[in-house]
């Protein structure tokens, strides 16, 4: 059996281009079970190993708002690929990392394929990939998927990182939410609530995000535990709306962006003087 690698990223980040580059003609197309979303799979034969690559639907987030997001998430949770190769558009880094952070929160090993480096360069955006890698704690490989540049290095990094377990990324969402997550996580663990499939803190986070799919699965698992979690979520929701004029979902998104920005500010991105544009 070859090692399964999920290729994931925002729409138009270059996923299909990289998929073709990695798998060549060794491809087949099917559907995800029960839905009409196309599932492209292919075999990548390389010096460092043979990998089964799955081209996940392009998404901007990992909520349950769209079929694509649910399909991508279900695949990751149920099939447990060895790794996610997360292709990001280097010319639009902040927005693309919003999805990356959510992959890392799930505790699946991630390798960032920093694609569109040619576009970034033309726009005068300089990215320190090593620094980004150090701060995120995952491999980061600069690429131009359209020309195949960086492919070899990507495969080398994937092969190197594949057996290293990844602890779920923990972001602080502010005192109110962090405390609530602690409380919810304890209940989730004590009751083995959905823990056969999902990391406990991730389930708690999804309850605070009002995630439809997890709410439904949770109600099927235990009405009593689900009820407790919803009550705790509503309590912090009322408190936050009274004191901060916000709600948990909004705060979680803001804090994810805050986390990303704090990383990007630490000598990761620099805007070079663009002579051509000014002349």
Site residues for ligand GDP per CB under 6 A:
9, 11-17, 58, 115-116, 118-119, 144-146
Closest C-alpha among 166, 171, 180 to residue 235: 180
Q: Which is nearer to Mg ion, 15 or 151 (CB)?
A: 15
16 touching Mg ion, by CB under 5 A:
yes
246 touching Mg ion, by CB under 5 A:
no
Size of the site for Mg ion (CB under 5 A): 2
Q: Which is nearer to ligand GDP, 98 or 207 (CB)?
A: 98
92 touching Mg ion, by CB under 5 A:
no
Q: Which is nearer to ligand GDP, 35 or 119 (CB)?
A: 119
CB of 38 to Mg ion, least distance (A): 10
* Interface stretch with Mg ion, choices 8-16, 136-144, 159-167, 252-260 (CB under 5 A): 8-16
CB of 68 to ligand GDP, least distance (A): 11
* Interface stretch with Mg ion, choices 14-22, 23-31, 91-99, 263-271 (CB under 5 A): 14-22
Q: How far apart are CA 65 and CA 62, in angstroms?
A: 8
CB of 6 to ligand GDP, least distance (A): 13
Task: Identify what 74 binds: ligand GDP, Mg ion, none; CB under 5 to 8 Å per kind.
Answer: none
Q: Which is nearer to Mg ion, 16 or 27 (CB)?
A: 16
Give the distance from CA 19 to its chain's centroid.
18
Task: Identify what 86 binds: ligand GDP, Mg ion, none; CB under 5 to 8 Å per kind.
Answer: none
Residue 142 near residue 128 (C-beta atoms within 8 A): no
Task: Identify what 11 binds: Mg ion, ligand GDP, none; CB under 5 to 8 Å per kind.
Answer: ligand GDP
Residue 16 near residue 113 (C-beta atoms within 8 A): no
Q: Which is nearer to ligand GDP, 152 or 223 (CB)?
A: 152
Q: How far apart are CA 208 and CA 211, in angstroms?
A: 8
Q: Which is nearer to ligand GDP, 99 or 232 (CB)?
A: 99
Beta-carbon neighbour count of residue 87 at 10 Å?
Answer: 28
Residues that bind Mg ion (CB under 5 A): 15-16
């Amino acid at each position: 059996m070859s090692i399964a690698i999920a290729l994931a990223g925002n729409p138009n980040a270059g996923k299909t281009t990289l998929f073709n580059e990695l798998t060549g003609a060794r491809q087949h197309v099917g559907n995800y079970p029960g839905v009409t979303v196309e599932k492209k799979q292919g075999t990548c034969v390389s010096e460092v190993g043979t990998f089964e690559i799955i081209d996940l639907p392009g998404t901007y987030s990992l909520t349950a708002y769209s079929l694509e997001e649910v399909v991508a998430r279900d695949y990751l949770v149920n099939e447990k690929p060895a790794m996610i190769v997360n292709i990001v558009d280097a010319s639009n880094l902040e927005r693309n990392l919003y999805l990356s952070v959510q992959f890392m929160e799930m505790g699946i090993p991630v390798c960032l394929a920093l694609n569109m480096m040619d576009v970034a360069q033309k726009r005068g955006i300089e990215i320190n990939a090593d620094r980004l890698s150090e701060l995120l704690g995952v491999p980061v490989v600069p690429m131009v998927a359209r020309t195949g540049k960086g492919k070899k290095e990507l495969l080398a990094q994937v092969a190197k990182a594949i057996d290293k377990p990844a602890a779920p990324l923990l972001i602080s969402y502010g005192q109110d939410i962090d405390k609530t997550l602690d409380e919810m996580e304890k209940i989730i663990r004590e009751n083995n609530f959905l823990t056969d499939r999902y990391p406990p803190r991730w389930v708690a986070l999804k309850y605070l995000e009002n995630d439809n799919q997890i709410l439904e699965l949770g109600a099927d698992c235990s009405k009593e535990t689900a009820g407790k979690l919803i009550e705790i979520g509503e309590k912090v929701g009322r408190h936050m709306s009274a004191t901060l004029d916000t709600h948990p979902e909004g705060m979680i998104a803001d804090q994810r962006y805050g986390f990303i920005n704090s990383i990007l500010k630490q000598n990761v991105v620099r805007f070079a003087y663009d002579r051509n544009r000014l002349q």
